[in-house]
Amino acid sequence: MKELSVVVPLYNERDDLMRLYFAITGALDPFIGEYEIILVNDGSTDGSETLLDRIAENDPRVRVIPFQRNYGQTAAISAGLKMAEGCFIALMDGDLQTYPEDILKLLPYMQEFDFANGTRVERKDTLLKKISSRIGNGVRNRVTGDRVQDTGCPMKVFKSDVAQSFNLYEGFHRFLPTLARMNGFRVVEVPVGHRERTAGHSKYGVLNRAFVGLMDAIVIGWLRKRTINYRIRGN
């Protein structure tokens, strides 16, 4: 079994793909013996497919999941998690606003916890994006009853058992730390770096984080109150 799977959902990130590949391999090669990179092409229309195929042909550690059309971030993450073969799974976005090096920062927490959620410090986003993200986090925590500081941070590391416990529906990618807690796993939040986007543009705005997120949060809050947790006494 591989030590680590890095899962990256991608949608129209062609200009960042080579930088992404070299950033991940450059960060992990000196420290991780056996790992894989799973790139999920969520129906990109910018010519990403040809470049992704070329990257995979040149490096057997890279696997590409090509969607027929754009199905959304939750579907892309779900597909990547199902294909992952690593003992640990790192989840990040393809825009390189978070640092692949922070995977190495989160991995040691797997000795004590099951899920390490990054918390972006000194965010390099626009004021509007910062405000919308804060609104989204507040809405989700208020409705779900959880206490996650930055549930929207794309940088996460967790055990394969956590991934196998997820039953994801549309929009649930925003609630992975909460879902992990609901399934009985130990969650920790760890500060990670953040930088400005150098190519492409954000696909998410105020409505995504507030109104749409509110509907999903109501569902998660309902499920959380009805979660079944039990332990069997040892002989």
Question: 224 or 85: whose pLDDT is higher?
Answer: 85
Q: Please, which residues have CB within 8 angstroms of residue 194's CB and are 6 or more apart in sequence?
A: 97, 98, 120, 121, 122, 123, 124, 125
**177: pLDDT strictly greater than 70:** yes
In a domain, 42, yes or no: yes
Q: Give the tokens for residue 57.
A: 């042909």
In a domain, 234, yes or no: no
Average pLDDT over residues 154-163: 97
DSSP for 5-36 reads EEEEEESS-GGGHHHHHHHHHHHHTTT-SSEE
**204: pLDDT strictly greater than 50:** no
Q: Give the tokens for residue 235.
A: 């002989």
State whether the Cα torsion 205-202-78-138 is positive or negative: negative
CATH of the domain at 83: 3.90.550.10
Tens digits of residue pLDDT in 8-45: 999 999 999 999 999 999 999 999 999 999 999 999 99
Question: 10 or 231: whose pLDDT is higher?
Answer: 10
Give the chain's domain count. Answer: 1
In a domain, 232, yes or no: no
pLDDT of residue 146: 62
Residue 67 is part of which domain span?
A: 2-225
Tens digits of residue pLDDT in 116-152: 999 988 765 555 555 556 655 555 555 555 666 687 7
